[in-house]
Structure formats: structure tokens, C-alpha cells
Amino acid sequence: MHPQQPAPKIQLSTTADYRENYANSVQVRVSLWDFFLLFGTINQTAPDSVSIQNYQGVFLSPQQAKALSNVLLQNVQQYESAFGEIKLEPQAAGSVIQ
């Protein structure tokens, strides 16, 4: 057996250009090498008119995308345990959830 290594100390910091934004639209594109997340905001000005303004794209490795998926799932489950089930609107066949 190998002795367990102590966990590394993690230091968090922000860069000078750090920012936070709200997104109610996330589009995902996948290639062999990476996942691309495109964040934006949706504005529906009329029943038949939707505008999406994309403001940030983020590339993730497949491994980091899977780690993000696990973290999101764990946090959604904790949220639902505390506040109740998150309900999504029914989607038509073949439609995309933004």
C-alpha cells in the first residue's frame, strides 16, 4: 500500500479582467477534442420572436466537461433536496433546451 499524499492547498484568486454575468442560454458544441459552452441571454420581444445575445464562449476538455457535469448534478440534487424539484417546460420532439 502507498501512503496517502496530503491534499494540495488550493489558492483561489481572480484576474484583473474577472467578471460575473447572468446567462439564461447555454449552447453546447462538441468535437473530438473539446466541448464549447456559449453563454448568452434570451430576450423574447414577441410570441414569435426570440433574440439570443451571446457574450462568452468557454472551451473545456472532455475530462473537465465531465467533471463539470458531475459537480452540476451534485449541486442540482442538493438544491432540489432543499427547495423542491426543478421543473422544466415540456419540450417538443427534436427541440433544443437553451
The structural domains of the chain, with segments of one domain joined by +, span 25-83
Which three three-digit cell numbers place residue 66? 465531465
For residue 5, what pLDDT band results from cuts at 50, 70 and 90?
confident
Model pLDDT for residues 55-75, shown as the tens digit of each residue: 999 999 999 999 999 999 999
Confidence (pLDDT) at 1:
62
Is the pTM value of this prediction over 0.85?
A: no
Confidence (pLDDT) at 89:
83
Model pLDDT for residues 11-69, shown as the tens digit of each residue: 999 999 999 999 999 999 999 999 999 999 999 989 899 999 999 999 999 999 999 99
Kindly report the CA angle at 32 between 29 and 33, in degrees rounded to 5? 90
Residue 85 has pLDDT above 80, yes or no: yes
Residue 93 has pLDDT above 60, yes or no: no
Confidence (pLDDT) at 94:
53
Q: Are strands 35-46 and 25-30 parallel, antiparallel or unpaired?
A: antiparallel
